[in-house]
Amino acid sequence: MVKSMFSSKYVACLVSSIILNALFIINIFVGGQWNLSWTSRAAAEAETVAAISCSGHGRAYLDGLVVDGNEPVCECNTCYAGSDCSQFIPDCAANADGGDPLFLEPFWMRHVASSALVEAGWHRMSYTFNDHTFISKELERIIRKLHAIVGNAVTENRFIIFGAGSTQVLNAAAYALSLENTSSSTGIVASVPYYTLYKGQAEYFSSAKFKFQGDAYTWRKKSDAITNMIEFVTSPNNPDGRLNKQILHGPNVKTIYDRAYYWPHFTPIPAPADEDLMVFTLSKLTGHAGSRFGMTAHININSMGVSMDSQLRAFKLLKAVLEGEGKEIFDFAYQTMKARWERLTMALSSSKRFSLQKNNPQYCIFYNRVREFSPAYAWLKCERKDDKDCYAVLKAAKIIGRQGNKFGSEDHYVRLSLVRSHDDFNILIDRLNKLVSEEDGAKTM
Amino acid sequence: MVKSMFSSKYVACLVSSIILNALFIINIFVGGQWNLSWTSRAAAEAETVAAISCSGHGRAYLDGLVVDGNEPVCECNTCYAGSDCSQFIPDCAANADGGDPLFLEPFWMRHVASSALVEAGWHRMSYTFNDHTFISKELERIIRKLHAIVGNAVTENRFIIFGAGSTQVLNAAAYALSLENTSSSTGIVASVPYYTLYKGQAEYFSSAKFKFQGDAYTWRKKSDAITNMIEFVTSPNNPDGRLNKQILHGPNVKTIYDRAYYWPHFTPIPAPADEDLMVFTLSKLTGHAGSRFGMTAHININSMGVSMDSQLRAFKLLKAVLEGEGKEIFDFAYQTMKARWERLTMALSSSKRFSLQKNNPQYCIFYNRVREFSPAYAWLKCERKDDKDCYAVLKAAKIIGRQGNKFGSEDHYVRLSLVRSHDDFNILIDRLNKLVSEEDGAKTM
């Protein structure tokens, strides 16, 4: 009896032990953790920080502020506060100003394993790649593949150039296209409403090479003149989402197509873009604005190429995008933008005071059907004659947009960003609902 | 008997099983791999690529070229070839041209666990940090701590500004210091021999704001003139390692101190630098040239801040640097540079044809003793009158340096980079030994 119990205890122990071993083995293999050595410390650190709860209204980061200890603290979204970001700040203004593309963050939370990056301390310390270029050939290959899948750009027989964000690339392109060895400067134009940065850059750098010359339309009749012109064509346009085409033509005109928003999230893709100089950016594709990755002679001398870290990050993110059919991110992003436009349109449906831009549906070769636009920005108009300062009208209702005059337009217009975080968008809709609901009342501020 | 054997087998099995359990537990805890989930796939990928052997003469990278399969291939150092980089190319020229700081790569190979970075797909997607700046506060804190430990810069009451490499920061500083709203442009000067880029940048951007005006010495007597001047002071100097001081003084003169090489690897540190505008860079400190991280109005408009990836990388690397006493990297780097200078001096010791710059030993507050300089570059002079083109003399001997004229100097001089990889340096010394050994023969070609 004793022996028998002894034996059965043994058996029980052995079975437990074997099961435990099996679990370890499964855990190690399934987790792919077999033999992990130098990466495990950093991996554990990253997972610890990622596991910090910020109530869904904030996030802790590896390089975040550290208070009392070693772990970074929660960095809360606008209008949220507290150590775990759980407190809503009631009188807080809705931020609909900048184009921070946080609407894509949930996608990356869901695809955290495929998009995680592990970088060794000795990774690509050189200024250049082995072929003496500043550009990763594998990254270039992935970018061409992505454009082929989406069908939004012809990349055959084109050079691919990288920059620290499309901002730098746009500036580089202007330098490259402005004529060398000429005493007269090149004029820079864009059609109203236009993206603020073109004007700001041209004026800030005050290069003898070029000068901002305002609205492209006013130069249409002068296009046979001898002045050399560069036209920036943003298509889809920022702020109004229109698929702009160039206004100026002729031997003295060069065109830079800003294609930052030419992705199925934001617009029907009627045909692959096929311009001589097209500028794309990671920030409006994957949402990684902070990585500063857009698309050379100028860039070398300005900052000696793009960070190898940014290139590796872009490589990893685009590889994650291309897993499976490579369409998942577009479906997620399009559904998100579509749902936001539906909520925005609903919020303003009963309003006579505010109107939105109209872009007629077009055939999209990516979705093989006619579809609506779902632009990154609403180009809101205050319809009342008295509402000359639409920005102030919205600000009084605790909504921060961007003034029409910043786009070369009237101040009856305000741009509202729709690509920000879920929190920012929700607060924006709440504020708009309230504003519209007060419209028929006696006083509307 | 049967029972007894059965029992003892059980015992043996159980003991083995328990030992195996213990091993797994130890492995998991010591490795810090407990519960690793979303990071394990990327960690395994990174370790697989890192384990690819390239014979010590090359390296495989995560984003390297892929041939026949999924694993990246070896990228070989100059003068090495073959799928595993094991073949030496005999007639290959020694590359001593660019300042690629690969001499620090072995340090990071040794500190691979502390310097590994794991970045989530959702890491800092915004343009800005939570405080609406483009700058990581924790990174700033670490940079101040590092300067305090080394004693090479006063950082109290100073702003810290980041840029995409010191190249961009230097350019930004010139924009910031050139006067606004003035019709006359600011002159840019540097003392000969000077770093090539200052001239190249000023000329390339051809901003109406500033114009390159050559050697600072020629302007010394004109410093009471009304022209606004910016003097770039590189200290230690590139190419000759001298601890330059500004040449121009006066109310119209602004000074930008390029402190890229002011680290104990390269120079005695006589006192903390205490200038108004000092520029440092990660590339010459940790060797990460490819990360493009140097030290805001100009940078915002040019590229909207520095990549969050580069900032996170810099954060991780500098944290690794500061582990322990925070002096290990300097000891490694100084010993490496010192040993290289000893080998170089030895190679040229019997030569009357070639000479090196002389920098007298100085007291170093980091090492608390008088010590020699060990600059990043040799400023080699061809002493023979006939050797007017020193670059060509070296090139014929299969050594690629950089021409003196690129530093505003005579072509009797050539700059040789001493910070490149172990392989590059070894080949350089071999070629120099051969060249010097032929010196007393009839023909030296």
- Summarize pLDDT for B319-369 with one digit per residue, the tens: 888 887 778 999 999 999 999 999 999 999 999 999 999 999 999 999 999
Please say whether the dihedral angle defined by the alpha carbons of residues B103, B106, B111 and B115, taken in this order, is positive or negative. positive
Q: How far is A354 from chain B (nearest CA, A)?
A: 29
The nearest CA of chain B is from the CA of A267 a distance in Å of: 22
Backbone angles phi, psi at B399, to 5 degrees: -130, 125
Query: Cβ of A303 and B308 within 8 Å?
Result: no
The Cα of B122 is separated from the nearest Cα of chain A by a number of Å equal to: 5
pLDDT of residue A67: 74
How far apart are alpha carbons B188 and B174 in whole angstroms? 8
**Residue, of B417 and A27, whose pLDDT is higher:** B417
- Determine the residue of chain A that is closest to B306 in CA distance: A292
The residues facing B369 across adjacent strands are B364
Please calculate the CA angle A421-A425-A428 and round it to the nearest 5 degrees: 145
Q: How far off is chain A from B320, nearest CA to CA, in Å?
A: 9
Sheet holding A402-403, edge to edge: A354-355, A377-382, A413-417, A402-403
CB pairs under 8 A between A and B: 378
Q: Do B40 and A42 touch (CB under 8 A)?
A: no
Q: Distance (Å, rounded) from C-alpha A402 to C-alpha A391?
A: 7
Element (H, E) at B359: none
* A125–B290 C-beta distance less than 8 A: yes
The reply to whether A318 touches chain B by the CB within 8 Å rule is no
- Three-state SS for A305-341 is CCCHHHHHHHHHHHHHHHCCCCCHHHHHHHHHHHHHH
Among B33, B123, B305, the residue with its CB nearest the CB of A33 is B33
DSSP state of A416: E
Give residues 177 to 236 of A whose Cβ lies within 8 Å of B.
197, 200-201, 204-209
Backbone angles phi, psi at A107, to 5 degrees: -60, -45
| Gap between the Cα atoms of A429 and A426, Å rounded | 5
Report the SS3 class of residue A5: helix
Q: Give the type of residue at A40.
A: S
| pLDDT digit string (tens) for chain A, length 445 residues | 334 444 455 555 556 666 655 555 555 444 444 578 999 999 999 999 999 999 999 999 988 888 766 778 999 999 999 999 999 999 899 999 988 899 999 999 999 999 999 999 898 888 777 777 767 888 888 888 889 999 999 988 887 777 666 666 677 777 777 765 466 778 888 999 998 776 766 666 666 677 888 888 888 876 555 678 889 999 999 999 999 999 999 888 888 898 989 999 999 999 999 988 888 888 888 878 766 665 544 444 444 456 777 788 888 888 888 887 778 999 999 999 999 999 999 999 999 999 999 999 999 999 999 999 999 999 999 999 999 999 999 999 999 999 999 999 999 999 999 999 999 999 999 999 999 999 875 344 3
Q: Which among B45, B64, B116 is the nearest to A121, CB-wise?
A: B116
Interface contact B307, partner A, CB < 8 A:
yes
Q: Per-residue confidence at B401, pLDDT binned at 50, 70, 90?
A: very high
Mean model confidence pLDDT for chain B: 83
Cβ neighbours of B287 in A, within 8 Å: 125
ipTM: 0.82
pLDDT, position A10? 53
pLDDT attached to residue A11: 54
Residue numbers in A near B323 (CB within 8 A)? none
Give yes or no for B406 touching A (CB within 8 A).
Answer: no
Q: Quote the percentage of chain B above a pLDDT of 90.
A: 49
| Torsion B324-B327-B330-B334 (CA) sign | negative
Chain B contact for A95 (CB, 8 A cutoff): no
Q: Chain A: nearest CA to B420, how far in angstroms?
A: 9
CB < 8 Å to A34, chain B? 44
Q: Quote the tokens at residue B368.
A: 């608390």
pLDDT tens figures, B287-330: 787 666 655 444 444 444 567 777 888 888 888 888 877 789 99
Please tell us whether the domain made up of A137-322 is placed in CATH 3.40.640.10.
yes
Strand pairing report for A253-258 and A362-364: unpaired
One-letter-per-residue 3-state SS of A365-410: CCCCEEECCCCCEEEEEECCCCCCCHHHHHHHCCEECEEHHHHCCC
What's the CA gap between B240 and B245, in Å, rounded? 14
- The mean pLDDT of B65-85, rounded to a whole number, is 86
pLDDT at A289: 72
Check if B70 contacts A (Cβ < 8 Å).
no
Closest chain B C-alpha to A169 CA, distance in angstroms: 9
Q: Per-residue pLDDT for B28 more than 60?
A: no
Judged by CB atoms closer than 8 Å, whether chains meet at B114 and A121 is answered as: yes
Strands (E), B267-409: 278-279, 354-355, 362-364, 369-371, 377-382, 399-400, 402-403
- CA of A1 to nearest chain B CA: how many angstroms apart? 13
Q: Does the domain formed by B95-104+328-437 have CATH 3.90.1150.10?
A: yes
The residue type found at B42 is A
| Per-residue pLDDT tens digits for B111-170 | 999 999 999 989 888 877 777 776 788 888 888 888 999 999 998 888 777 766 666 667
- Give residue B256's pLDDT: 87
Fold of the domain spanning A328-437: Aspartate Aminotransferase, domain 1 (3.90.1150)
* Contact flag A41-B47 (C-beta cutoff 8 Å): no
For B:109-138, CB contacts with A below 8 A are: 109, 111-130, 136-138
CATH architecture label of B38-92? Ribbon (2.10)
β-strand partners of A413? A381
Answer yes or no: is pLDDT of B33 > 50: no
Q: Which of B10, B62, B133, B328 to mutate to test the interface with A (most CBs of A within 10 A)?
A: B62
Radius of gyration of chain A (CA): 26
